[in-house]
Amino acid sequence: MSRETCRVNGSDRRPPSASSAPAAAVFRLAMLVVGAALAGCAGDGGSVAPGPGQDARLVLSASVGDEPIDRLAVTVTADDIPVPLVFNLDIADGVALGTLRLPPGSARTILVEAFDVAGTVTHDGSMTIDVQRGQNPPVRIALLPRAGDTPIEVTLAEVTLSVSPTAVTVPAGGTVALAAQLLDVDGQPVQGTVGWGSDNPAIATVDANGVVSGITPGTAHVVASHGVLAAIATVTVTGDGGLTGVEGVVSWLGNGPLEGITVFAGSESGQTDANGYYLIPGVAPGPVEVSTFAMPAFCAGVDVQQVTVTAGSLATANFSYQCTPGTNGVSNNETDLAAEADFCSTHTPVLTAPGFVYGRILEAGTTEAAGPSPNVRAELLVGFPGTDPRTDVDWFRFPADFNAQVGNEDEYRFGLAFAGVTLSYAFRFSVDGGATWTFCDTDGSGSGAGLTFDPLLTGTSDIP
């Protein structure tokens, strides 16, 4: 079946050849529909040319951004359309657009193909719809890639949406306003609500009025939407305005930096590196609370600071702690002394995301009653794999909180968020005021028959 030529923007164009190999490039495509007419046509073979007042009009357009797409070709076929109607949509400023004038009727198959500059079909897709005079519901057509895995979405509608400009550059910490417009097929403004969103808010954010804020250098796509319609703008954020966020150093007085500590700034977070340095970009300008992961009783210092973030600059929040390492007290494991717990365990063997780890103790005559036992002290110790928390002074200790009554056992917990470093941890319990301690592995320790503490069976914290 032959394809008929249509006149587009004053010139005759035929669909490019689809015989060459598919392009390897894949791309994202958000639809935006804008008002511009592209006439359907009748060919020498006698196809039906809709007359004035008889045709239905559907606006089709696509925003390809900066992707190397040269044009779209649209072919419309039906049993009562002897020769296919073909429409070519050129790309101008990253947008393909046109109004399809179609004879009303049922089972109109619409085939859309995307071509690159070499005339190779990169994506194609089709849908069969009924077309009526007057208002037609919006339709989306998915174009699947010939290579790659990113589809294209095409929209046919009687209301069109555009955004301007379609490409902007803004420095980090700066802002720029985008405008969206709804038009009918005659190009007249239409009232309606437009939503806004960013596909990469770490690079750029957008508010409900279309005002884009540059966060960190990079590229993001801001999408305006109305129902099934969408229009896209490419936002390039440069470093000209400087990063907006919080930075600082977390240190242990007398022993250098603390690595792998999570620092929070509002809803954003970062981790300290080997030098104790952290950087949290993307923090919104204004007052913000900066805090480290709480380490009460192990490291004395300020856990929370209030700073003010200015657009295009980094606020500074440094944290210094006076830390007391070591395992004060004496291990009573395998002594069978009265102070050795009957049974205890480090109940969480592995931690791969920030969260709580749990430990349990059973001591006859002490832990059976509901609630925390006043004679029990609980601590979590954190150190390096392959070392023994009973003797290695580099293990850090944290007081643990009572969590729940589990049968005759008291359960305690402590939250860990050391990221980027593999650590070991183990609970220990004292029932004699901290004079001696029972250290607990994941297999169970205590004075019970066959219970011993194995330093190779401690818990493992491996948070990326």
Looking at residue 149, its pLDDT comes to 64
Count how many Cα atoms sit within 13 Å of the Cα of residue 29 in the half-sphere of its side chain. 33
Question: Given pLDDT bands bounded at 50, 70 and 90, which one contains residue 324?
Answer: low
Predicted local distance difference test score (pLDDT) of residue 19: 33
With a CB cutoff of 8 Å and minimum separation 6, the contacts of 133 are 54, 56, 104
Residues with Cβ within 8 Å of 276's Cβ and at least 6 positions away in sequence, in order, are 249, 250, 251, 256, 257, 258, 259, 261
CA 185 vs. chain centroid, Å, equals 37
Report how far apart, in Å, the C-alpha atoms of 110 and of each of 19, 47, 74, 127 are: 20, 16, 7, 5
| CB of 121 closer than 8 Å to CB of 22 | yes
* CB distance 444 to 343 below 8 Å: yes
Residue 225: pLDDT over 80:
yes
pLDDT at 51: 43
**Average pLDDT in the 76-87 region?**
92
- Residue 158 reports pLDDT greater than 50: yes
- Give the residue carrying structure tokens 């069978």: 336
Q: Do the domains at 161-238 and 330-462 have one common CATH topology?
A: yes
Supply the pLDDT for residue 21. 29
Given 3-state DSSP classes, what are the helix, strand and coil percentages for the chain, each rounded to the nearest 5?
0, 50, 45
pLDDT (0 to 100) of residue 455: 93
DSSP 194-226: -EEEES-TTTEEE-TTSEEEE-SSEEEEEEEEE
User: Which CATH class for the 330-462 domain?
Assistant: mainly beta
Quick one: fold of 245-323? Immunoglobulin-like (2.60.40)
Of 88 and 19, the one with more pLDDT = 88
Confidence of residue 18 (pLDDT cuts 50, 70, 90): very low
Enumerate the β-bridge partners of residue 420: none
- Identify the residue with better confidence: 153 or 405: 405
Q: Between 365 and 47, where is the model more confident?
A: 365
The class level of CATH for 6-157 reads: mainly beta
Q: What tokens were used for 24?
A: 């390897």
Q: pLDDT value at position 464?
A: 84
Question: Looking at residues 89-105, what average pLDDT do you find?
Answer: 79
- 161-238: what fold? Immunoglobulin-like (2.60.40)
In this predicted structure, what is the pLDDT of residue 369? 93
Distance CA 14, CA 59 (A): 20
Cβ of 435: how many Cβ atoms within 10 Å? 12
Measure CA 126 to chain center: 31
Whole-number pLDDT of residue 451:
93
pLDDT band at 254 (very low <50, low <70, confident <90, very high): low
Confidence of residue 411 (pLDDT cuts 50, 70, 90): very high
The whole-number average pLDDT for the span 275-287 is: 87
Residue 326 has what pLDDT? 46
- Which residue from 4, 183, 23, 177 is spatially nearest to 77, judged by alpha carbons? 4
Mean predicted confidence (pLDDT) in 249-257: 70
Model confidence at 370, in pLDDT bands (50, 70, 90)? Answer: very high
- Name which of 8, 58, 64 is nearest 31 in CA terms: 64
Q: Mean pLDDT across the stretch 295-312?
A: 70
444 phi/psi in degrees, rounded to 5:
100, 130
In angstroms, rounded to a whole number, what is the distance separating the alpha carbons of residues 221 and 223?
Answer: 6
* Average pLDDT rounded to a whole number, residues 114-118: 87
Structure confidence at residue 35 (pLDDT): 25
Least confident of 156-165, 267-276, 299-308: 299-308
353 pLDDT higher than 70 = yes
Q: Evaluate if residue 71 carries a pLDDT over 60.
A: yes
Confidence class for position 55, pLDDT limits 50, 70, 90 = confident
The whole-number average pLDDT for the span 3-24 is: 32
Task: List pLDDT tens digits, range 255-265.
Answer: 666 777 788 89
More confident of the two residues 324 and 236? 236
The single-letter DSSP state of residue 50 is P
Beta-bridge partners for 330 = 436
pLDDT number for residue 277:
83
pLDDT at 329: 59
The distance from CA 237 to its chain's CA centroid, rounded to whole angstroms, is 18
* Mean pLDDT of the region 131-141: 78
Ordered by start, the domain boundaries in the chain are 6-157, 161-238, 245-323, 330-462
pLDDT, mean over the chain: 78
Each residue's pLDDT tens digit, 437-461: 999 999 999 998 889 999 999 999 9
Residue 44: pLDDT band by 50, 70, 90 thresholds?
A: very low
Predicted confidence at residue 378, as pLDDT, reads 93
- How confident is the model at residue 6, as a pLDDT? 35
The 10s digit of each residue's pLDDT in 168-217 is 888 877 888 898 888 876 778 888 888 899 988 888 899 999 999 888 88
CA distance 384 to 389: 9
Would you state the structure tokens that stand for residue 210, as one six-digit string?
């279309």
Q: Among 342, 368, 364, which residue's Cα sits nearest to residue 440?
A: 342
328: region left, alpha or beta (phi > 0 left; psi from -120 to 50 alpha)? beta
pLDDT at 33: 25
